[in-house]
Every structure is written in structure tokens, then in C-alpha cells.
């Protein structure tokens, strides 16, 4: 039986890496005594499937993890209690917000997710400046960037990956950019988006701003849905836990 | 302003591995500070990855936080990228638990596990906003103290440390807390700091360098004497009598990011009486105090359940010597929570105690790396260093390992040992070749990794009088081994940089005159010297010369019986006569059996403190040659070249 967890990563713990979080999860499922299936072979590992990596330093309220539970013990796991049980065992700042059972044959997270919505705080930039940049980027027919890959210059047009950009004024008058960015075929990371500004902006987290992934989306013939929808979830509590 | 976190956040976005600085580990504590509480900042002066697993620091962290009159937090040396950002913004060193400025603690307490971190100690004191020199500190500054193995010769750091603790810290931290508490309650008035230091100097196990006068005659050290009549002439180490009374850490820290030794660690015994003459840890931590097996089992079962680790290390200086080790390993694997696989690692293995039984128990779950430490290439030299394992013991041990499915073993050796000849050095290659040959009978891929370290003589060992090999001599010996193993495809040779061994040797047996050298190397940016990419040999050599100090005299010179050593006013319990006799026995190629299983030879460690070995088994582990009175009497003549005069240059004969 495969289950999917939606979890948040907020506060100080955002400075752990994707690999760190994977190790934290391995220890946490062992502590919870969850009957996670294991891979075959000499170096047997628990069957856990992580979604898109979250850059070190970014927060998220929309991380996902799939777990294969071993039969027959899987039946003994009460999915309605699991979110709370795991959150109690996780370090401050990591919390499970929803748990659902996946239908057999569900596509892996990495393949299925097509875009993410990000919330970027932009210290030192007025809302008007940010709106101007957003209009310029959205009006551009193409946004070609060149980067080095294996010693060869590679050019990409990032414009198709900018699915939606909007600016609002957040708490304490901070300018907040909400961006929906594609993850495939050529994904755009928040830092790359900021580098498209004129003049290019550094990653907002280096200026003391927060960057938070608020949604991951599975594009489905023009429509979009989240990897774990409310109807899948057995515990829809979306607690706004803020780490110390 | 007690929480620097808001100012640190933007900096952490710019540095490597920022998770080092966030705290939040399972087992970490966010203590409540208050006027009635003495606040300790426990500092490991190396990176978080190296320092976090340190058991000594974690033990004291728990013991102090359990006290009503103390709080303790932790920090580690910030890597150079964060240090630069902190300095650029005028921010101080901070605790990882509550991100409190280091200068707001009552004590900065360093763990000194290695000599090459000394410049980091100065850097941390400075980053805390505290004058690096004792003489410049005022009542408002924290007390700067240190513990750990390097404190058995703290003289090179005497200018920078207010006080130093010798030996086990479990009890003495309470006594220090009480005195510092009184100081705090008295308002830390002008002159009170000196009064506190004087009181501290009377606490057994506490050494206050500024309470002692050092006199020289030319280069020679003449005496280290107390300045006041109530300050003890000799400072004895502290020893806890029974490990069973101290089941710490109870809540081992589980880091959120990768660290060395990232596993549950449970100390199964403290102290070692094997009597390896090069080994400072074995000499200074006597006697042997085993933890009861039932307590070990309980600590492991609780620890695995609480942490989620799937690996446990049974730590000690020689874990295979633990009474009933086979039964313990079997029980640990049987106890594993939920029947999940748990791997057991035994970090310090003596080959003569590593049997098929132990091997087969370990490999029932995941196989961990196996390291054996024969230390020297020939039986003759192993008698000199008192590592009394025969080649047959080594071959039997690796056969046990390879036959139980291991494909690779690690072998650890020292080079530059007293009386070492090229025959001994090349014996290392010979042993390694034979080990691989045995392995090949079980698997075509069998291999052995051979690590060679340059020997650095340490205080309170029989080799404290020995002149360390020069860099050139160590390099020559490593070259011999490279040539000898080049064509052995199963043997991989690794070695420690001889230049780093030189600077370790300098600090290991140096005196107070090295203080200005350490300070200047630090001021010139020489931090993280134990990191090969940061180590700066030339800076040390140039600074020594600039201060008119002779590296040869400090490092490569043999000492004679009557020389006053810089640590003569300190004591690890070992009688000087015992050490000198053991040095003579070494040169006579005479082994000395383990006193756990043979009559006492009065080294002083037990009798001096009215304590005893605590071992569950009165017989040595099976398969060993030590303690069984085998052929230890085949000693030779003492080579006089090592004992008399001032042999210059390299050791050996």
C-alpha cells in the first residue's frame, strides 16, 4: 500500500538540505515503528519516495513524501492518526499536514508535478518596482538565458515556464511576489526568476526575505490539481505551525 | 539582546552547510537563563560535523542542565565563511541552542581533543568578544576553561586559559559551578576574578596556570612552582570511580545534518590497561571501569527507540576487551526495536580479541567497517610499543572477518616509533600483503586499506622522553612503504601528513613559550589547522623562527631522565618511576602484561586515588596472547643511544 504525506518545512529548519530531510524522515519512520517496506538486496533501504528537492534555505507548506507500507502490517496503520503521530516525532518546523492513500499505479511525484507556486518576500523593493518588473517579464515574448553545462554554453527560453506572477503587499509593508513556475520540461527556480529582474536581484533569502513553496501542481489537460487533494486526505488539518 | 537569530538568518543563506548553526537537534535543550544560574557555553573548537558527536561534551551538557544552579548550551567553531560574515557585521560567536552571544555566558568551556585546534580556541575566544589573554580579562568577561585529553599538557595555552580540568569532568563541573555561582552572586567586583581563580586552583583536578611561576635557565625549564602557599604544588587528575553511576548521555543528540560517527554511541568502558606505550589515552584514563552489561543493553535499547538510528557503536579504547562482548553484541541485535536491522560497530578492536564469534555476531545484521590496529610491522617493534599481538593473532582476526563475508579491512599503523628500523617499516607492507592473501582465499575482491600515521610522543606516556622523527625521516619511511606496496593491488596505502605531525608534536610537548607563537599563527589567519586544505606548515615554521624558538629542540630531541618536563606539576596518577621504567623496558624490547588479568605493577593510577578496576570477567578474552604470559621475556639490551645525551635529528638507532 502506498501512502502520500503532505508536510511543511518552516522556520530555522529550512536551513537543512534535501538530503538532511531525507535522513530525518528515515529516522522518524523508524521511531514511529511504521511498517515501511524495504528494498531487496544487501544494502536494504526503506521504500520512501521523495518529491522535488527544496533548496536549502527555502520554506514550504507543500512538500510531499510517498511511503510504501509492507503488507500485511499496513492494515494496522491508522491513517487518521498518522499526521499527528509523525509531527510529534519530527523536529520543530517539520509537520505533517495531510495523509492519503494512493491508488495503485499512481505516477511518481517527480514525474507528476508540473509546476509550483512560490511566495517570495522582496526586502528593499517597493511593490511598484516589483509590479513593473513583473509586467515587463510577462510582456516579453521570450526570456533567453545562457548557462554553462559541462563546459558548453546552453541557451534556454525561460518565458514559457513563467506561468503566473503577481505582486502584493504583505505584513509590515513587505513586497511579496507570488510566482507559479513550471518544473518541466525546463523548470525555473525562484533564484533564476530573480536573476531575470533588471538589474538582477540576488536570492531574496540572502537579503533576509523568506521564500516559501506554497503549492505543487499536477497539470492535467489544462486543469491543475495538488498531489494530495482534500478528498484523498484523511487528516485535512493544515496547521500553520511556525517553528521557533 | 539575547537572541541573535534575526541577524544570523540572512547570513546563513550565504554559507556552506547552514544546518550546522541552527540547533534543534533531538535531545537539544533550550535552557532558561537566570541570575541564580551559572551559564556554561560548551565549545568544541572544530566544525559542527566533527564536534557534535563528542561524547564528553554531550555528557557535561546533560549533567549541567540537570542541575538547578546551572544551564549549559553548545557551540562549535564557525567555518571560515560564516566567521568572515560575523566579523564584517560585528556579530559575536553564539550558542547553537538559543543563539545567545557567547560573551553573555559565565564560562566558555573548551573541549581539547587535538593539538591542531589550539588556534581555533583563540579564534573562538576572540569571536566571543573576550580578550584572548588571561591577563587582559576583566570581571565582566566569562571564565575561559578547558578539558579533554590535551589538557595533560596545557602549557602552550597557559596564557589563554583561566583554568584547566584534568581527567573525568562529571563531578568537577559541579564544584566549578558552585564557585562561579558565588562569584556571580558577589557581583563580580574588581579583583574578584583573581580571587575566584585562586579558589578554583584548590579544587582537585583544576589547574590554574596563572597561579604558577615558570623558571628557566637558558632554554631549560627549571621549575613550575605555585605563586601562593595555598595553591597545590601538583595538580592530580579527577577520576570517577564507577561508570554505572553515570549513565550519560541519556538523550544523545541526533543531528539534523550529516556528522562524523552519525549513530548511537554508547560508552561500554572507560580506561585501558593494555599498556600500549605510545597511547596517551590508555595511560591517562586508567583504571578500567566497565559499564554493567545490563545498563549498556538498556542504554542501547532506549537510545535506538528514541533516536531512530539503525547503528550503534560500542565505544571504549578497546571494545573487544569488554567482558562478555560476544553476548553483548548478540543481545543488542536481538533487542532491536521492531525486529529492524541494527548494525553494531566496534570502533576500537584489538586483533587478539576479535574472534569468529564476535565476527559472526556483528555480521548478523549490516556489516560495518572493520579496523584493526597492529600499530607496528614486526613483533620486535610491537614489544617495544607493548602492543603485544602476534602476527598469528592478526591473521586469525582477518580470517574471521573475511570468512564472515567482509571484503575489506582497515589496518592502522604508526611509523617513526622508538627503535624503528626499515625492517620494521617494511614489515607493515609484509603484514598487509599477507592479510590480502588470506582475504583472497575467500573473495577475489578482498582488500586492505593501510593507514599510516607519524608517531607523535605525548605527555604521561613512557615515550614522552623520545625525540620525534623529523618530517624528512617520516616522508622517507612513507616512501619506502609506497614503493613496497605499489604492486600489491589489494593494498591501499594512506598516510597522515608528516608536516602536520610535526606541529602536533610541537604543541604536544611544548611549554609556555609557545603561547606567543600560537597567538601569532592565529592572528595571521591560521585557523582550522587540522583541515589539510587549511593547514599552513610554513606559517608555523616561520613564526617559531621569528620568536627565536628551535623546532628541533622542542620536537626531535630525546629527553633524559632528569629533565624537568613542562607538565611535571600535573599528574595523571602515573608514577614517574613507572613511566621511566616502562621506557627502559620498551628500549629493551620487553613487553608488560595487562594488569586487569595479572598482578598489579603499581603504575599509580589505582593506588594513588584508592580506586580499582571494575571488570566483570577475571579472565582475558579468548584468543589473545596478552595477559596469558606468553613469551614476553625475550627482551634485549637497552640501546644506549636513546637514553644518553642529546641525540639530534631522527629517532631510531
Contact A6, B15 (CB under 8 A): no
Instruction: Give the pLDDT confidence score for residue B367 in this predicted structure.
Output: 66
Binary contact (B26, A91; C-beta < 8 A): yes
Distance CA B546, CA B105 (A): 36
Binary contact (B12, A206; C-beta < 8 A): no
Contact B71, B86 (CB under 8 A): no
Spatial neighbors of B465 by CB under 8 A, at least 6 apart, are B457, B558, B559, B560, B561, B563, B580, B583
Task: Report, in this order, helix, strand and coil percent for chain B, each rounded to 5.
Answer: 40, 15, 45
CA distances in angstroms from B354 to A35, B158, B270, B326, B623, listed in the order given: 35, 42, 19, 10, 8
Contact B559, B464 (CB under 8 A): yes
DSSP B254: B
Q: Which residue has the higher pLDDT, B640 or B129?
A: B129
Residue A18's closest CA among A184, A196, A178, A213? Answer: A213
Distance CA B22, CA B583 (A): 48
* Buried-exposed string B359-377: b where 16+ CB fall within 10 A, e elsewhere: bbbbbbbbbbebbbbbbbb
pLDDT digits (tens, 9 = 90+) for B72-97: 999 999 999 999 999 999 999 999 99
Contact B559, B445 (CB under 8 A): no
Instruction: Give the pLDDT confidence score for residue A225 in this predicted structure.
Output: 92
Residue B38 backbone dihedrals phi, psi, to 5 degrees: -85, 125
Residue B157's closest CA among B106, B185, B121, B123? Answer: B121
Angle between the N-to-C axes of helices B55-66 and B172-185, in degrees from 0 to 180, rounded to the nearest 10: 50
Average pLDDT over residues B353-364: 67
Instruction: Give the pLDDT confidence score for residue A147 in this predicted structure.
Output: 85
Which segment of B56-70, B320-334, B492-506 scores lowest on mean pLDDT?
A: B320-334
Instruction: Give the pLDDT confidence score for residue B237 in this predicted structure.
Output: 97
Instruction: Give the pLDDT confidence score for residue B334 in this predicted structure.
Output: 86
The residue of chain B with its CA nearest to that of A94 is B24
Distance CA B89, CA B11 (A): 10
A22: chain B residues, CB-CB within 8 Å: none
DSSP B484-535: HHTT-TTEEEEE--HHHHHHHHHHHT--GGGHHHHHHHHHTT---TTSTTT-
Q: How far is A91 from chain B (nearest CA, A)?
A: 7
Task: Report, in this order, helix, strand and coil percent for chain A, each rounded to 5.
Answer: 25, 35, 40
DSSP B261-273: T-SEEEE-EE---
B306: chain A residues, CB-CB within 8 Å: 31
Average pLDDT over residues B163-190: 97
Query: What is the share, in percent, of chain B residues with pLDDT greater than 90?
Result: 77
Angle between the N-to-C axes of helices B515-523 and B118-127, in degrees from 0 to 180, rounded to the nearest 10: 60
Cell of A214: 506554497
Give the CA count within 13 Å in the CB-facing half-sphere of B296.
Answer: 30
Distance CA B557, CA B64 (A): 43
Residue B415's closest CA among B338, B495, B351? Answer: B495
Residue A67's closest CA among A97, A95, A109, A31? Answer: A109
Residue B274 backbone dihedrals phi, psi, to 5 degrees: -60, -30
Binary contact (A205, B13; C-beta < 8 A): yes
CA angle at B488 for the pair B484 and B493, rounded to the nearest 5°: 65
pLDDT digits (tens, 9 = 90+) for A15-35: 999 999 999 999 999 999 999
CA angle at A238 for the pair A237 and A244, rounded to the nearest 5°: 120
Distance CA B278, CA B300 (A): 32
pLDDT tier at A231, thresholds 50, 70, 90: low
Q: Are strands A223-225 and A211-220 parallel, antiparallel or unpaired?
A: antiparallel
Instruction: Give the pLDDT confidence score for residue B411 in this predicted structure.
Output: 93
For CA atoms B415, B420, B424, B425, the dihedral sign is positive
Distance of CA A235 to the CA centre of its chain: 19
B257: chain A residues, CB-CB within 8 Å: 16-17, 20
Contact with chain A for residue B254, Cβ under 8 A? yes
Which segment of A209-223, B352-366, B538-552 scores lowest on mean pLDDT?
A: B352-366
Which segment of B244-248, B442-446, B463-467, B619-623 scores lowest on mean pLDDT?
A: B619-623
Average pLDDT over residues B314-318: 91
Strand partners, B110: B43, B146
Best to test chain A binding among B13, B49, B303, B309 (most A CBs inside 10 Å): B13
B88: chain A residues, CB-CB within 8 Å: none
CB-nearest to B18 from A15, A44, A208 is A15
pLDDT digits (tens, 9 = 90+) for B549-600: 999 999 999 999 999 999 999 999 999 999 999 999 999 999 888 888 888 8
CB-nearest to A20 from B14, B19, B26 is B19
Instruction: Give the pLDDT confidence score for residue A229 in this predicted structure.
Output: 72
B366: chain A residues, CB-CB within 8 Å: 43
How much is the mean pLDDT over chain B? 91
CB-nearest to B256 from A29, A91, A208 is A91
Q: Are strands B289-290 and B269-270 parallel, antiparallel or unpaired?
A: antiparallel
Contact with chain A for residue B638, Cβ under 8 A? no
CB-nearest to B256 from A24, A33, A89 is A24
Contact with chain A for residue B18, Cβ under 8 A? yes
Average pLDDT over residues A48-53: 94
Cell of B428: 607493515
CB-nearest to A30 from B17, B22, B340 is B340
Find cell 510582456 and name the residue. A139
Instruction: Give the pLDDT confidence score for residue A44 in this predicted structure.
Output: 77
pLDDT tier at B345, thresholds 50, 70, 90: confident
Distance CA B650, CA B630 (A): 33
Distance CA B7, CA B91 (A): 8
Distance CA B201, CA B226 (A): 10
Spatial neighbors of A61 by CB under 8 A, at least 6 apart, are A8, A10, A97, A212, A213, A214, A238
Cell of B2: 539575547
Cβ atoms within 10 Å of B68's Cβ, excluding its own: 6
CB-nearest to A12 from B22, B306, B307 is B22
Q: How far is B86 from chain A (nearest CA, A)?
A: 14
CA distances in angstroms from B39 to A123, B93, B184, listed in the order given: 36, 15, 10
Dihedral-angle region of residue A73 (phi above 0 means left; psi in -120 to 50 means alpha; beta otherwise): alpha
Cell of A205: 533569502
Instruction: Give the pLDDT confidence score for residue B369 in this predicted structure.
Output: 72
Strand partners, A49: A66
Burial of residue B215 (number of CB atoms within 10 Å: 0-12, 13-18, 19+): exposed
Instruction: Give the pLDDT confidence score for residue A242 in this predicted structure.
Output: 32
Cβ atoms within 10 Å of A242's Cβ, excluding its own: 12
pLDDT digits (tens, 9 = 90+) for A83-138: 999 999 999 999 999 999 998 888 888 889 999 999 999 999 999 999 999 999 99
SS3 call for B402: helix
pLDDT tier at B1, thresholds 50, 70, 90: low
How much is the mean pLDDT over chain A? 90
pLDDT tier at B623, thresholds 50, 70, 90: very low
Contact A109, A66 (CB under 8 A): yes
Spatial neighbors of B288 by CB under 8 A, at least 6 apart, are B269, B270, B271, B272, B273, B596, B613, B614, B615
Spatial neighbors of A229 by CB under 8 A, at least 6 apart, are A100
Binary contact (A57, B258; C-beta < 8 A): no
Contact with chain A for residue B483, Cβ under 8 A? no
Q: What is the ipTM of this complex?
A: 0.91
Amino acid at each position: 500500500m502506498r501512502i502520500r504525506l503532505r508536510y511543511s518545512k518552516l522556520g530555522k529548519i529550512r536551513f537543512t538540505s534535501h538530503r538532511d530531510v531525507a535522513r530525518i524522515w528515515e529516522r522518524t519512520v523508524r521511531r514511529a515503528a511504521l511498517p515501511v517496506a524495504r528494498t531487496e538486496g544487501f544494502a536494504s533501504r526503506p521504500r520512501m519516495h521523495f518529491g522535488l528537492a527544496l533548496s536549502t534555505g527555502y520554506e514550504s507548506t507543500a512538500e510531499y513524501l510517498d511511503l510504501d507500507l509492507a503488507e500485511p502490517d499496513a492494515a494496522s496503520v491508522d491513517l487518521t492518526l498518522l499526521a499527528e503521530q509523525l509531527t510529534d516525532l519530527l523536529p520543530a518546523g517539520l509537520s505533517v499536514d495531510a495523509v492519503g492513500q494512493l491508488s495503485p499505479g499512481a505516477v511518481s511525484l517527480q514525474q507528476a508535478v508540473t509546476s509550483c507556486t512560490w511566495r517570495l518576500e522582496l526586502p528593499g523593493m517597493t511593490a511598484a518596482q516589483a509590479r513593473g518588473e513583473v509586467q515587463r517579464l510577462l510582456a516579453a515574448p521570450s526570456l533567453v538565458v545562457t548557462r554553462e553545462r559541462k563546459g558548453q554554453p546552453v541557451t534556454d527560453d525561460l518565458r514559457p515556464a513563467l506561468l503566473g506572477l503577481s505582486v502584493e503587499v504583505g505584513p509590515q509593508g513587505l513586497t511579496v511576489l507570488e510566482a507559479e513556475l513550471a518544473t518541466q520540461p525546463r523548470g525555473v527556480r525562484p533564484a533564476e526568476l530573480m536573476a531575470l529582474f533588471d538589474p538582477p536581484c540576488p536570492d531574496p533569502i540572502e537579503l533576509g526575505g523568506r521564500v516559501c513553496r506554497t503549492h505543487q501542481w499536477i497539470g492535467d489537460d489544462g486543469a491543475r490539481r495538488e498531489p494530495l487533494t482534500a478528498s484523498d486526505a484523511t487528516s485535512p488539518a493544515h496547521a500553520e505551525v511556525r517553528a521557533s | 539582546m539575547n537572541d541573535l537569530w534575526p541577524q544570523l538568518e540572512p547570513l546563513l543563506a550565504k554559507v556552506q552547510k547552514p544546518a550546522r548553526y541552527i540547533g534543534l537537534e533531538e535531545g537539544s535543550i533550550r535552557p532558561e537563563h537566570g541570575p541564580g544560574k551559572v551559564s556554561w557555553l560548551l565549545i568544541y573548537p572544530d566544525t559542527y560535523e566533527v564536534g557534535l558527536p563528542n561524547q564528553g561534551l554531550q555528557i557535561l551538557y546533560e549533567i549541567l542542565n540537570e542541575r538547578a544552579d546551572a544551564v549549559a548550551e553548545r557551540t562549535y567553531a564557525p567555518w571560515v565563511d560564516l566567521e568572515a560574515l560575523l566579523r564584517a557585521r560585528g556579530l559575536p560567536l553564539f550558542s547553537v541552542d538559543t543563539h545567545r552571544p557567547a560573551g553573555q555566558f559565565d564560562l566558555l568551556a573548551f573541549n581539547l581533543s587535538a593539538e591542531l585546534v589550539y588556534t581555533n580556541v583563540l579564534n573562538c575566544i576572540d569571536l566571543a568578544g573576550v580578550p584572548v589573554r588571561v591577563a587582559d580579562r576583566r570581571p565582566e568577561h566569562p571564565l575561559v576553561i578547558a578539558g579533554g585529553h590535551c589538557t595533560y599538557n596545557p602549557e602552550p595555552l597557559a596564557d589563554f586559559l583561566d583554568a584547566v580540568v584534568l581527567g573525568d569532568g562529571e563531578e568537577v563541573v559541579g564544584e566549578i559551578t558552585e564557585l562561579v555561582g558565588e562569584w556571580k552572586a558577589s557581583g563580580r567586583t574588581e579583583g574578584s576574578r583573581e580571587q575566584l581563580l585562586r579558589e578554583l586552583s584548590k579544587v582537585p583536578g583544576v589547574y590554574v596556570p596563572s597561579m604558577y611561576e615558570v623558571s628557566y635557565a637558558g632554554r631549560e625549564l627549571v621549575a613550575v612552582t605555585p605563586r601562593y602557599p595555598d595553591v597545590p604544588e601538583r595538580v592530580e587528575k579527577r577520576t570517577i570511580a564507577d561508570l554505572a553511576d553515570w549513565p550519560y548521555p541519556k538523550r544523545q543528540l541526533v543531528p539534523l545534518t550529516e556528522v562524523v560517527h552519525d549513530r548511537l554511541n554508547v560508552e561500554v568502558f572507560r580506561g585501558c590497561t593494555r599498556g600500549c606505550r605510545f597511547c596517551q589515552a590508555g595511560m591517562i584514563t586508567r583504571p578500567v571501569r566497565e559499564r554493567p552489561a545490563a545498563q549498556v543493553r538498556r542504554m542501547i535499547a532506549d537510545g535506538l527507540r528514541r533516536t531512530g538510528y539503525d547503528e550503534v557503536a560500542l565505544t571504549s579504547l578497546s571494545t573487544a576487551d569488554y567482558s562478555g562482548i560476544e553476548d553483548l553484541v548478540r543481545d543488542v541485535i536481538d533487542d532491536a526495536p521492531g525486529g529492524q536491522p541494527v548494525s553494531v560497530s566496534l570502533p576500537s578492536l584489538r586483533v587478539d580479541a576479535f574472534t569468529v564469534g564476535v565476527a559472526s555476531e556483528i555480521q548478523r545484521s549490516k556489516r560495518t567497517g572493520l579496523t584493526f590496529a597492529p600499530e607496528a610491522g614486526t613483533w620486535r617493534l610491537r614489544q617495544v610499543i607493548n602492543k603485544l599481538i602476534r602476527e598469528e593473532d592478526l591473521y586469525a582476526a582477518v580470517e574471521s572477518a573475511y570468512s564472515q563475508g567482509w571484503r575489506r579491512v582497515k589496518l592502522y599503523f604508526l611509523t617513526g616509533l622508538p627503535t624503528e628500523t626499515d625492517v620494521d617499516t617494511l614489515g607493515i607492507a609484509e603484514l598487509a600483503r599477507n592479510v590480502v592473501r588470506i582475504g583472497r582465499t575467500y573473495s577475489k575482491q578482498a582488500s586492505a586499506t593501510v593507514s599510516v600515521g607519524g608517531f607523535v610522543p605525548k605527555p604521561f606516556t613512557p615515550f614522552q622522553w623520545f625525540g620525534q622523527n623529523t618530517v624528512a625521516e617520516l616522508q622517507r619511511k612513507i616512501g619506502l612503504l609506497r614503493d613496497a606496496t605499489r604492486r600489491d593491488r589489494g593494498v591501499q596505502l594512506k598516510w597522515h601528513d608528516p608536516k602536520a605531525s610535526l606541529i602536533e608534536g610541537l604543541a604536544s610537548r611544548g611549554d609556555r613559550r609557545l603561547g606567543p607563537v600560537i597567538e601569532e599563527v592565529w592572528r595571521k589567519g591560521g585557523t582550522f589547522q587540522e583541515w589539510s586544505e587549511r593547514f599552513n606548515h610554513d606559517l608555523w615554521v616561520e613564526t617559531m623562527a621569528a620568536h627565536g624558538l628551535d623546532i628541533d629542540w622542542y620536537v626531535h630531541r630525546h629527553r633524559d631522565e632528569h629533565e624537568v618536563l613542562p607538565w611535571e606539576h600535573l599528574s595523571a596518577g602515573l608514577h614517574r618511576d613507572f613511566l621511566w621504567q616502562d621506557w627502559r623496558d620498551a628500549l629493551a624490547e620487553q613487553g608488560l602484561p595487562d594488569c586487569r588479568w595479572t598482578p598489579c605493577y603499581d603504575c599509580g593510577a589505582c593506588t594513588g586515588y584508592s580506586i580499582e578496576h571494575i571488570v566483570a570477567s577475571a579472565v582475558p578474552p579468548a584468543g589473545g596472547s596478552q595477559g596469558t604470559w606468553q613469551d614476553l621475556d625475550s627482551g634485549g639490551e637497552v640501546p644506549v643511544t636513546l637514553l644518553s645525551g642529546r641525540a639530534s635529528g631522527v629517532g631510531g638507532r
